[in-house]
Copies of this chain bind each other. A is one copy, B any other.
C-alpha cells in the first residue's frame, strides 16, 4: 500500500478506499497479513449454450413486448408515453423526509408477516371498505396482477381481457401460462354481450378488467355495465381481477367506487398500487380478495416472496397517514387536468389526421386513432429517433390491432414538453 501511495502520490486513506472498492469488484483480493493481490481471472473456453433451447421449451412471455414495458428512453426523450408521473408531480421532499425517518426505525429492518404490515393493511382496507385480513401487500401493481392471475387460474386455462388492454396484463397472463381471450371495449368499458359470448365459449374462470380510467383508452365502465359484468361473473362462477391502478388519478369529478364494493360474494379481486399516484420507485401495491381465494393467495404469497421490503411498507404507511397525502392528490388532479387539456388541444390543433378516442376523465393516458394504413411501428420508431416517446398501439392488443393507434400519456411530460413533443410528431406524420 505504501508503494501505491508513493506511485500515485495519493494519501493512504485514498489508496485504502480505492483498494476496498476494487476488492468489492473482485479485481483485487486482500490476503490478511500478506497484502493485496490482483485476483486471477479464469480463462474459459467459448461456451456452448445450444442444449438450453431444448431444455427450455417454448417461451411463454413475449420478449419484445416485455422489453417495452416501463421503458423510458433516455433522459433527453420527451416522455409522451410512460406509465408513471413526472418527477415534479411527486411529493419528493416528503419522501426524503419520510424515507430517512423510516430507515432509522428498527421495524424497517425486520421482516413483516408475508401478508404485510398490519397497520398498512388496515389503512388500505379502509380505503376499500374491506376487512384488513383480506388485504395482501405486494411490491407494486405488476406483481399484484401476475400473482393474482397465477394463483386464481390454472396454467393452460383462459383469462379474458378487454381489448385494447394494458401490455403488462398481457405479459402477466403469458408469464402465468394462461391463454388470453380478448373482448372489445368502447368508451363505456368492455362490451358485455361479447364478454358473455367469450365466457360461454372459453369457460374462462378469470376476467381481467380496468373499470376506472382504463389504460390505454381512459374508458370508465358505465354504471349499467358494472351490474351486468358482476351478474355475468356470478352466472359463470368466474373471478374478476379489478385492476384499480388509477383510483387516485381522477381528474373530472369523483372516481367511481371500486367494483369490489358492489360484490357481496367474492367474485371481484382488486389490485391497487401506490407506485402510480405516489412514486414509480415506491414499489408497493395491494391485492384484496375474500373467501377461499384470499386464503389461497395468502399461502402462495409466502411461497412467492416472503414479504415486501419492510422499509417500503413503512414509507407507504407514513405517506398514507400524513396530511401531505390528500394535499398531494388534490394538487395532482389539477396538474393532470392542465396537462390533459394541453395534450388534447395540441393534438386537435396540430395533428388533424389523428382522432382522439374519448377525452379521459382520469388516469394518465389518451388513446388516438390514425388513418387507415398508418404504420405505428415505424411512426413510434421515428418519433423515438427524433427524441419523442409515443406508445405504439400494437402492444395493447393480444393479436393484430384492428386499426392503427397511438397511446399518449400526459402524466410524465410538462405542458411545454407536451406541446413540443406533439409538434415534432406532426413533422413525422407529415
Find A61's partner among B42, B61, B156, B299 (CB 8 Å cutoff): B299
Contact B152–A155 (Cβ < 8 Å): no
Contact A103–B99 (Cβ < 8 Å): yes
A47 CB-CB contact with B under 8 Å = yes
Contact A265–B24 (Cβ < 8 Å): no
A53 CB-CB contact with B under 8 Å = yes
A304 CB-CB contact with B under 8 Å = yes
Please give, as numbers and ranges, the residues of chain B lying within 8 Å of A150 by CB-CB distance: 175
Given A57-B154, A177-B155, A281-B310, are A41 and B129 neighbors across the interface (CB < 8 Å)? yes
How far apart are the CA atoms of A246 and B277 in the complex, in Å? 38
Contact B299–A59 (Cβ < 8 Å): yes
How far apart are the CA atoms of A60 and B153 in the complex, in Å? 11
How far apart are the CA atoms of A56 and B234 in the complex, in Å? 14
* Oligomer copy total: 2
Find A264's partner among B44, B66, B114, B280 (CB 8 Å cutoff): B44
Closest Cβ of chain B: how far from A82's Cβ, in Å? 10
Please give, as numbers and ranges, the residues of chain B lying within 8 Å of A108 by CB-CB distance: 99, 281
What does the 1/0 interface line of A165-182 toward B look like (CB < 8 Å)?
000100110110100000
Which of A15-23, A221-229, A388-396 interfaces with chain B?
A15-23
What does the 1/0 interface line of A253-283 toward B look like (CB < 8 Å)?
0000000010011100000000000011111
Which of A138-146, A397-405, A413-421 interfaces with chain B?
A138-146
Contact B302–A66 (Cβ < 8 Å): yes
Instruction: Give me 27 A-to-B residue pairs in the complex whose CB atoms sit less than 8 angstroms apart, sorted by A's number.
Output: A20-B321, A23-B326, A24-B320, A25-B123, A25-B126, A26-B126, A47-B290, A49-B265, A55-B152, A55-B238, A55-B239, A56-B292, A57-B154, A61-B299, A63-B299, A84-B111, A99-B103, A100-B103, A109-B280, A109-B282, A111-B281, A155-B177, A172-B304, A177-B177, A283-B307, A283-B309, A309-B312
